[in-house]
Homo-oligomer: A and B are copies of this chain.
Amino acid sequence: MDNSFPKNNLTNEVFAYWIPRLVADGVDINDILSVHSVATNWPEWSKAWSEIGNRYYLLAKEMQSEGHDISAGETLIRASLAYHCSQIVAFHSQEDKKAMQALKAKTYQKAAPLLAPPLERIEVSFKNHKIPGYLRLPRSLENLAACVLLVPGLDSTKEDFHTIGDICVKRGLACFSFDGPGQGEFRQHLPLAEGYEECIQAIFDAISSHPKIDPLRIGTLGRSLGGYFVMRAAAKNPQIAATVVFGGAFDLEDFSTMPKMIRDGFCYATGGKTDSEARTLMGASSLIDCIDKVKKPVLIVHGKLDAIFNWKQAIKLSNSLPGVSTLVMDDNGVHCCHNNAFQYRTKMIDWLANVLKKDQGL
C-alpha cells in the first residue's frame, strides 16, 4: 500500500479535498498546514495529528484548572477533532484507528459539559446496545423545539457534526448527532450493514419523547452514505417531517470505481476482509425498493466534482422524487460541497428551519 502523498502542491489531494473538508468540520488551518509541513505519508500524518490532539488536551487541562471552562471545552473540541484527523486515514493500522477513534469520542465527551450551553449526552437503546449521541438545544426556546437528526456517513461520526450543530442551534433548531452501526463509538457493537435505517427509527422514537422536542417537527440530515440511509428512513417513517441528503447516493452502483480509501472504509465499517466482501455485506443498497413511499420534502445538495458519489446519483435521486424534492447542484463542489461549505451548510439548515417551521403551521 502506497501511503505517500505529493508535497508542496496546491492542487494535491491534501489541499484540494482535505483542507476544505477538515476546516468545514472545525479544524484549524494552522494545524493542517503544520501537519502538511512535516508529514510525507499517511502514517506520519496520523502521528502528527495525534500530537496536535495531545497538545490541545494539555492546554484544555490548564484552562480548566484556571477556571476557564468555556475555553477548556472549546479546546477539547479541537483535541477531539485532531484525534479525528489522526484516525480518518489510518487504514494502515486498524488498531491505531480504533484507539484514536476511542480517544476522539472520550475527549468530545469531556468537552460536552463545559460548553455553553452544555451538550446533553443521550444513549438510545438499539438491539441490546446503546447508541451514543449528543442533543443540542437552541438557547432561546419558546415551547418545543424542532430537531434535526444528524446522520453520519461512512467514515464520519457524531463529533464531526459539531459545526453543523452550531449552525442549527443558532437558527433555533435543536439537533441530535450520534454514531450508528459501523461508526465511531458504536462500531464495536454493530457493523455497518443494509438496514442501518432501523437505528434512525430508534433514535426518532427516543428523541420524539424528549420533553423539549416537538415530535411533529423532526427532520434528518444525512451526510454522504448517511444520505442514502435517511432516504430509507423517510420511506419507512412518514412522521419524519423533512430530509436533507448531503452528498448522498441513490445506490452503490459506483462502488468499484470509488477511491481506494473509500473502499477501505467500507471494509473497516462492515468488517469485510476484501472490497468484494464489504460490498456483499452492504446488501442491495439501492433506494429502488422504497423511494416511492417518500412523501415529505427532500433537499438534495450535491457537488458536480464529487469523486465518491457521482453527481448522477443526485440526479437519479431527484428524478425519483417528483414533486417532493429540491435539487441544489454546485458546479464546483467536491464531495459534500466541502469546498463551498459555508454556503451550502447554511442553505441546508435554513431550508430545514423553514420546512420544520411550516410543518407546525406557524
Interfacial residues, chain A to chain B (CB-CB below 8 A): 8-10, 15, 19-20, 23, 28-30, 33, 36-37, 59, 63, 66-68, 70-71, 74-75, 78, 116, 139, 170-171, 339-343, 346, 350, 353-354
Contact = CB atoms under 8 A, between A and B. Distances in A.
Given A346-B74, A350-B63, A339 B30 contact: yes
A68 B74 CA distance: 27
Given A8-B10, A30-B339, 7 more contacts: A10-B33, A19-B29, A29-B29, A30-B340, A59-B343, A68-B350, A139-B139
Contact of A23 (B29, B341, B343): B29
Contacts of A29: 19-20, 23, 29
A61 to B, nearest CB: 14
A117 to B, nearest CB: 10
Given A59-B343, A78-B342, A170-B70, A10 B36 contact: yes
A186 B125 CA distance: 60
Number of copies: 2
A342 B28 contact: yes
20 contacts: A8-B10, A10-B33, A10-B36, A15-B33, A20-B29, A23-B30, A28-B342, A30-B339, A30-B341, A30-B342, A59-B343, A66-B350, A66-B354, A67-B354, A68-B346, A68-B350, A68-B353, A71-B171, A74-B346, A75-B342
A40 B74 CA distance: 37
Contacts of A23: 29-30
Nearest to A170: B70
A346 B56 CA distance: 13
- Give the interface centre of A15, A36, A71 by most chain B CB atoms within 10 Å: A71
Contacts of A353: 68
Contacts of A30: 19-20, 23, 339-342
Contacts of A170: 70, 116
Contacts of A36: 10
Contact of A33 (B19, B66, B74): B19
A116 B139 CA distance: 11
Contacts of A63: 346, 350
A12 to B, nearest CB: 11
B37 A10 contact: yes
A36 B29 CA distance: 15
Nearest to A349: B71
A241 to B, nearest CB: 19
Nearest to A116: B170
